[in-house]
Amino acid sequence: MTKLQGKKAVVTGGAMGIGLATCKRLIREGCDVTIWDLNQEEMDKARKVLEGMGGKVFAYHCDVADKERVNELAVRAEKDMGRVDILINSAAFVRAGKFLEIPVEDSVKQIDINVNSMLYTIHALLPGMMERNSGHIVNIASGVAIAGTPGLAAYTTSKWAVWGLTDVLRLEVMAEGKKGVKFTSVHPGNITTGMFEGFKLNWLGRIIYPPVKDHDVIAKGIVESGLKWNIHIVCRPRGLYNGILMRGWVPDFLFARLVLLFGVGDCVKNYKGRKGFIHSDPDAE
């Protein structure tokens, strides 16, 4: 088991939701934490909370889809903390709606923030980990990366990409003999508050894949399973692991019908979550 005491972490989207819950757990483990977030007001609140827990915290306003800003802050994080041992890519953006019913620009923005930002953050911070042969990168994917979700086409696409990116980078560092550099993809199910408030499966779907009560359930999976025990794929609820097995064993036509039977086709009907944004955004309506 990996000890986290004294580790230095960067958490994108660390002002709210999964990011903030993970920061709290990292502080309790004795880590120093740097937060990057677009929402300055929430980030200021988060910093006060984390410092009140006794943590050493750095916080910077950051649009993670801005490569130059990410590169600038990567250098800053290494100066502030001495090095970066852990990168948690938690920042995300979602706009619910059928693919043809939302502006294509919203779909592109989801790819920029959910995928391209990870290319920037990892490209900036992985070299130091490779040089030291030590580090852990955790990318937040989603349960929708296991089964596609109508009404979340671009978001689903982005989270499949996150899973694939995490998997191939793990293989690349293994091929380089850098056994000390680890990768984890995290697949949250339906969290009932925050970004996905109102997202809901039918009664059968909720029995098979029960909702996640709060963000700390995911944060616990990140810290306890991902970082401490180096679990490569972390699913919460754990029933999502069955979805991965079903993908391999159940014929596609039957898998699709099962997914729809669980209510996936109408799951965004009553979607509310933060007007579709995980960060405040000047263009939000």
Q: Determine the Cα–Cα distance for residues 151 and 146; give it in Å rounded to an integer.
A: 15
Q: Which of 110, 142, 173 lies closest to 240, judged by CA? A: 142
Mark residue 150 as left, alpha or beta (left: phi above 0; alpha: psi -120 to 50; beta: remaining). Answer: beta
Q: Determine the Cα–Cα distance for residues 204 and 202; give it in Å rounded to an integer.
A: 6
Residue indicated by tokens 């996150």: 162
3-state secondary structure of 250: coil
Q: Determine the Cα–Cα distance for residues 237 and 165; give it in Å rounded to an integer.
A: 22
209 is catalytic: no
Catalytic residue among 60, 120, 155, 271: 155
Q: Determine the Cα–Cα distance for residues 82 and 129; give it in Å rounded to an integer.
A: 12
Hey, which residues are catalytic here?
A: 155
